[in-house]
Structure formats: C-alpha cells, structure tokens
C-alpha cells in the first residue's frame, strides 16, 4: 500500500471529526479535543510534509507517556502507524511494514475498547475504510471493511436526532462512507438506502450528485468513492497492495 494513497484517506479525519464537534456535549465523550493538538501537523504530513507528520507522532507519543490509556492519543497514533506502514512497504521492508501495520491496528482497537465514542470511532473507521482497499488477502480486506462500516454505523447511532443539525460535510462524509462501504461489500440494498438519504437529505450537493451517478451507472466497486468530497483532491492512481 503506497503511503501517499493511505495517507490521503486520513485527510478526511478532520472534517469527519466535525461530526463530534457539532454533536453537542455528551456524557460519554471526553471534554478534551486531543485532535486539536495534533491534527494540523498530521494533515500537513498527509500532504507530504514528513517533518510535520513526525511532529504529530511525537506529540501523541508524549501524551501516551503521561497517559498510556488515553484513547484519543491511542487512536491517532495507531492511525499514523497504520498509514506509515504504507511508506515502509513501498520501501521494500515487508517485515517491518507488517509489524507497523499490526501495531497501528492494535492501538486503534485498544482505543475503541477504552472509549467507543465518536472522536475515537471516526479515526479508526476512516483509516480502515481506505486501508481495506489495499490488502491482498480477500478475507482480511472484507473483515477490515466490515469493521469500518460497523464503526460508522455506531457513530450514526450515537448522533441520533442531532445528526440532522450537523454540517453538510459531516453528514455527507458519514452517509457517503456507509454507502460506499456497503456497496463494496456487495450489499446493494443497504448501499441504496444511504445513497437515497444522500440525495434526499443533501440535495444540490456533490454528495447527492455522486450518489445519483453511482445509482445510475453502477461502477465497479473498486471505483466507488463518495467520501473525501471537497476536503482534498483524491488520487485516482492505483496503489500497491499489501499482504
């Protein structure tokens, strides 16, 4: 998996976390927004600034030294490791790449186990949704995609009645991820449900337009994407697959 490709998917974390910001106070959500501390450097790193990415990782590591079970720091650090494994794979060190990828996944899973809240679920879901496209093993790819979808479904349930008050981008990213995920899993019924919601709840937006195209043209699952609309230019190049 090329680092550039997987890093690209993580750029949606900032807009996606807006779902958390707009959700209002929730008793189960931490008061502190750790993403405010690291996301600037993370996103600069995702655009190719390696020094910025390293700074973000150092910040998460410093927080974890003080608080090893901080779920927000864990999920961001895990997402960074998972993404960085692509760079390592591209460099030819498959053993280290596999170890880094596993460490990242373990950290994200641990974070969700500790705090299955929006601010933790979204980073893991976004990372796994894209990461699932670059796994060689079909079973692993399907399981990874299923976990991402489950996270997004859980977030939608947490938002409940507040969902309608969120920004167009926040709603579009979440509904789009679910439509895309279910489509790739081959569940046309569930995908159609979310595509319909995009068209009905976000008329006149890029999300609704893309949903209509998918419903009318039925592109190959590998080419389906509705997320990352407007937050960054999405690369259409093919990425190397990981084990």
pTM of the model as a whole = 0.82
Question: Does the residue 13 lie in any domain?
Answer: yes
Give the model confidence (pLDDT) of 183-202 as tens digits: 999 998 999 999 999 999 99
65 is a domain residue: yes
pLDDT, position 220: 56
Quick check: is 184 in a domain? no
User: What's the pLDDT score for residue 90?
Assistant: 87
Alpha helix stretches (DSSP H) within the chain: 3-10, 13-21, 35-46, 50-66, 71-90, 94-114, 118-131, 138-159, 168-185, 188-201, 206-217
Residue 125 within any structural domain of the chain: yes
Residue 171 forms part of a structural domain: no
Q: Does residue 228 lie in a domain region?
A: no
Q: How many domains does the chain have?
A: 1
Q: For residue 109, what are the domain limits? A: 3-161
Low-confidence ranges of the chain (pLDDT < 50): 1-27, 230-242
Each residue of 82-92: b (16+ CB within 10 Å) or e? bbbbbbbbbee
Domain of 134, CATH number, reads 1.25.40
Question: Residue 86: inside a domain, yes or no?
Answer: yes
Q: Find out whether 238 and 140 touch, Cβ atoms under 8 Å.
A: no
Residue 64, domain member (yes or no): yes
Predicted pLDDT at 1: 44
């Amino acid at each position: 998996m090329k680092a550039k490709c997987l890093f690209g998917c993580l750029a949606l974390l900032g807009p996606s976390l807006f779902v958390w910001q707009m959700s209002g106070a929730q008793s189960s959500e931490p008061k502190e927004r750790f993403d405010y501390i690291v996301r600037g450097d993370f996103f600069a790193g995702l655009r190719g600034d390696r020094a910025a990415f390293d700074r973000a990782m150092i910040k998460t590591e410093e927080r974890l030294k003080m608080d090893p079970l901080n779920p927000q720091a864990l999920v961001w650090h895990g997402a960074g490791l998972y993404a960085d494994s692509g760079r390592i794979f591209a460099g030819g060190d498959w053993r280290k790449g596999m170890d880094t990828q596993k460490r990242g996944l373990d950290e994200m899973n641990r974070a969700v186990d500790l705090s299955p809240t929006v601010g933790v679920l979204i980073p893991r879901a976004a990372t796994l949704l894209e990461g699932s496209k670059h796994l060689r093993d079909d079973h692993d790819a399907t399981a990874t995609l299923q976990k991402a979808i489950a996270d997004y479904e859980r977030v939608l349930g947490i938002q409940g009645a507040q969902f309608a008050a969120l920004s167009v981008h926040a709603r579009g990213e979440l509904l789009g991820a679910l439509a895309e995920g279910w489509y790739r899993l081959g569940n046309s019924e569930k995908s159609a449900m979310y595509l319909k919601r995009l068209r009905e709840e976000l008329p006149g937006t890029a999300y609704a337009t893309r949903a209509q195209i998918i419903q009318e043209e039925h592109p190959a699952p590998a080419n389906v994407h509705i997320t990352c609309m407007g937050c960054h230019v999405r690369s259409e190049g093919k990425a190397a697959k990981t084990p």
